[in-house]
Structure 1
Amino acid sequence: MTISLRSRHRWFSALQQLAQSIPYPLRGLLLGLLLWSTLTSAWINPDPVWQAFAPESAIAALGKLLFNGTLWPHIGASLQRVAVGLLAAIAVGVPVGLLFGLVPMIERSASGALQFIRMISPLSWMPIAVMAFGIGDLPVYFLLAIAAVWPILLSTSSGTAAVNHKLLLLARSLCATRSETIRRIVIPAIVPQILVGVRLAIGTIWIVLVPAEMLGVSSGLGYFILDTRDRIAYNELTAVLLAIGIIGCALDWSLQFLQKYWQPSR
């Protein structure tokens, strides 16, 4: 009896040490996987349709789609649209944010109208985007850009307004021009804030991407979701949802890496 209790204690201690060695993010993923598997199990949902949404079915379908090359063109198309929409948002948001941060009067004058437009859901622009740009990639680019521009603009504006004024006075005393001051002092100082805005923009753009790709395009993850629904391939649909989550996390982690290792002194 004593040996059995000691054995149980050793097993409990080993399991406790193993649990403590697992990183906290991985613990959450394992817990979510366990919950997902439980909710789609046969003893909770005996309907065979629900078995297509099970983790093992989705992972197997994802591996098959990646191995036979079916999913890669759709991933590439979606990432291309994200890149174009994000670059357009940066091209608009950073200069306007700099202008607002450097000239508060302009920011105060335009804040009401911009706040009104910002509160309109990006997906609400779908009919107007189709009327203006037709069917294809252009309305998708427009929707992604208008969804991503606001966090970049606001982060840039707040970062510019918070730049150390002593540095600006020093540049003025050294007879630096306005463009030199912006290029050599303001922009390097606000890069961390811009990265924060870009990270928020990627999160927003990745959410808007899937419904935006249902505007008549013939490729992309959003289009593929509609295709799997029409084919009643629910295991592939779940696999695409899994791929969307993985790619979104990878994009967010890459921005976290840039934020962590960015050195403003450069």
Structure 2
Amino acid sequence: MKRLGLPLAGLLLVLPLWWAATAWLQLRTPIASAFAPDATAQALWRLAGDSQLGWHVLHSLKRVAVGLALALVCGVPLGVLVGLSRRFARGTSALFQFLRMVSPLSWMPIAVMVLGVGDAPVYFLLAFAAVWPVMLNTASGVALLDPHWLLLARSLSATRSETVWRVVLPGITADILTGVRLAIGVIWIVLVPAEMLGVSAGLGYFVLDTRDRLAYDELMAAIVVIGALGFALDWLARALHARWSGQAAAAAAAEGA
């Protein structure tokens, strides 16, 4: 309970600030009453009752999973290659840094033009946003590997693929999980505007729909849900990383004993 006390207190502190902000806005814009905490809570209850919001949440989570999977499929091999090959790293560092600094959302028109309307351009934008933290953390993990492990693998006549699968990847799992956590944060930020690309479901679509219907209480409810889900995803990623790190530390201590 002590560990939860301060975080809960911080969240509860937001409520009076929220009330005060909406009360001040109502003096200038009467419609701001729809932004108030009580109106938002009523909208959440109503949306939960008809499962409308849950349908959009499921679509968004599916897109997050696909985008993250694509980022892992591309980012982990690239990161391993960058970490193991100095020539490849020197040859691609400028290109990767250039691409990394391009906002994923700036690719939206091209993604729609090439991939059409639907889930495909959203998957591309999410994967493009998430691949860089995965790749960079993977490469950093490879660079920090104990060189004696690689030397031992060579002395045992291990092939390059065997070295990667049995030495490199197990040794950098914690770094990959760190990249996954960062990637989830980036994906969740890009997700909402990406889902405004002509899809018919998802949290981004729901935000546009509530705006068009002038349902501002539902819009605030969607914002609360987006924040809560993002927090939950980050918590799961941190828990997975902590569990893996704990297991690795326990295994190292057992070997030392």
Fold conserved between structures, TM > 0.5: yes
Query: Which one has the largest radius of gyration?
Result: 1
Unaligned 5+ runs, structure 1: 1-17
**Which string of whole-angstrom CA distances, capped at 9 and with x for unpartnered residues, describes residues 192-250 of structure 1?**
11111111111011011111111111110000111100100000000000000010000
- Distance in 2 (CA, whole Å) between partners of 1:63 and 1:167 is 56
Identity over the aligned pairs, expressed in percent?
57
Letter in 2 for 1:151: P
Letter in 2 for 1:138: A
Structure 1 residue corresponding to 2:237, chosen from 252, 255, 265: 255
Residue 170 of structure 2 corresponds to residue 175 of structure 1: no
**Which string of whole-angstrom CA distances, capped at 9 and with x for unpartnered residues, describes residues 105-157 of structure 1?**
10111000111111110000001101100111111111111000000000001
- Distance in 2 (CA, whole Å) between partners of 1:177 and 1:155 is 24
- Distance in 2 (CA, whole Å) between partners of 1:34 and 1:105 is 57
- Distance in 2 (CA, whole Å) between partners of 1:22 and 1:218 is 38
Q: Is the 8 A contact 2:44 2:221 kept in 1?
A: yes
- Distance in 2 (CA, whole Å) between partners of 1:22 and 1:55 is 22
Residue 54 of structure 2 corresponds to residue 54 of structure 1: no
> 2:74 aligns to what?
92
Instruction: State the aligned residue count.
Output: 247
- Distance in 1 (CA, whole Å) between partners of 2:161 and 2:217 is 55
Letter in 2 for 1:217: V
> 1:142 aligns to what?
124
> 2:26 aligns to what?
45
- Distance in 2 (CA, whole Å) between partners of 1:28 and 1:147 is 30
Residue 166 of structure 2 corresponds to residue 184 of structure 1: yes
CA positional deviation for 1:23: 2.2
Structure 2 residue corresponding to 1:117, chosen from 80, 95, 99: 99
Residue 178 of structure 2 corresponds to residue 196 of structure 1: yes
1:1-266 matched pairs, under 5 angstroms: 23-41=5-23, 45-46=26-27, 47-262=29-244, 263-264=247-248, 265=251
Letter in 1 for 2:40: A
- Distance in 2 (CA, whole Å) between partners of 1:44 and 1:226 is 22
Q: TM-score, normalised by structure 2?
A: 0.92
- Determine which structure has the larger helix proportion and give its number: 2
- Distance in 2 (CA, whole Å) between partners of 1:70 and 1:257 is 30
CA positional deviation for 1:38: 1.8
CA positional deviation for 1:179: 1.6
Q: TM-score, normalised by structure 1?
A: 0.89
Tell me which stretches of 4 or more aligned residues in structure 1 moved more than 4 Å.
none
